[in-house]
Amino acid sequence: MNRLPSISFVRSGFAREFFVAVALLGTGCSDPLTRVDLIADTRVLGARVEVDGEPDRASPAPGETARVRWLVADPEPAALLGWAFAICAAAPPGGSLPSCGGEPFATAMADVPVASEPAIDFTVPIDIESRALAVFGVVCPDSAPRFDGGEFACSGARGRLVSLDFELETAERTNLNPVIDPGALSLDGESLPAGTDCATLPSVRRSSSHTLELALRETDRDAVSQPTSADPPKEALQVSHFTTAGKLERTFTVIEPSEKNLTVKVSWKAPKSVPADGFARLFFVVRDLRGGADWIERAICVTP
């Protein structure tokens, strides 16, 4: 992968492709009237930090190598993407968006659109003083990225500006990613297999109604230490769900720290007409709201 030229500073203010319980932030939808749950164009749905050799850990320590990879959804199953990212020590908290506290120490770039997952690999500086890192960049649908006048952009279609901040590992603080089991997403009680081959996928009739379930586990949420509590509470989990066809009853589900039932149920109505490729794709993204994330993508065939 090619490298970006030296960057003097990556300013804050990029849209954060990140979800809160009530809204989508960022540039996910070009049409403000487009349903949030519908993948009608290129969307960045999430980011996952993975420590080298320990992909379940989302908090790298100084000197460790890690990767941030991005979930990008598109109506086309194998969309071509260009991208560019830079990572830096995060500035002290003080704004609604992450910002850099110094020069970027790693960059990554795909300057020719490719059908692969956007990602940046980096090694945390051993002498870093910040408690967190910030990643900024752009994902470009079927076009190449640019870095002009201190800003990321795309040479063709309007890009998806992204940013993410996450904490570093310390002796007192660690954060693990949720881990979705490959068989965790089911349709009407039957586990959905991976792939897009209708010979092996379940089929539903157009306009029919169904129940989707995502089964999470207690290990998907960490205990959160509190000095005043002898029994540390668990993280909250936020699940976002999307589809390329049909309609979901809602886009977000929040599992509160006190909740014992970790199965997410959401109804889905198949599209009124059969999609051009014969199937609808579904995306479920789980976040622990502390920088940990995981996701699963599955498909359902639609018949007349």
132 and 209 assigned to the same domain: no
Q: Is 177 a domain residue?
A: no
Q: Quick one: pLDDT band at residue 232, thresholds 50, 70, 90?
A: low
163 and 190 assigned to the same domain: no
Output the pLDDT for position 224: 81
Q: What is the pLDDT of the chain when averaged over all its residues?
A: 86
Specify the higher pLDDT residue, 15 or 210.
210
- Whichever domain contains 151, its CATH number is 2.60.40
- Whichever domain contains 220, its CATH number is 2.60.40.2410
Output the pLDDT for position 11: 31
- Token pair, residue 282, equals 């579904």
For residue range 60-104, what is the model confidence (pLDDT) as tens digits?
Answer: 999 999 999 999 999 998 899 999 999 999 988 755 567 888 899
CB 89 within 8 A of CB 128: yes
**Residue 219, SS3?**
helix
Output the pLDDT for position 9: 31
Residues 111-143 as b/e (b if ≥16 CB within 10 A, e otherwise) read: bebeeeebbbbbebeeebebebbbbbbbbbbeb
Which residues have CB under 8 Å from 215's CB, separation 6+? Answer: 181, 184, 186, 262, 263
Q: How far apart are CA 46 and CA 227, in angstroms?
A: 31
Number of compact structural domains in the chain:
2
* Listed residues 167, 193, 217: the one ending a domain: 167
Average pLDDT on 291-299 reads 96
Average pLDDT on 170-198 reads 95
Which residues span the domain enclosing 285? 185-303
Q: Quick one: pLDDT band at residue 149, thresholds 50, 70, 90?
A: low
Average pLDDT on 103-129 reads 95
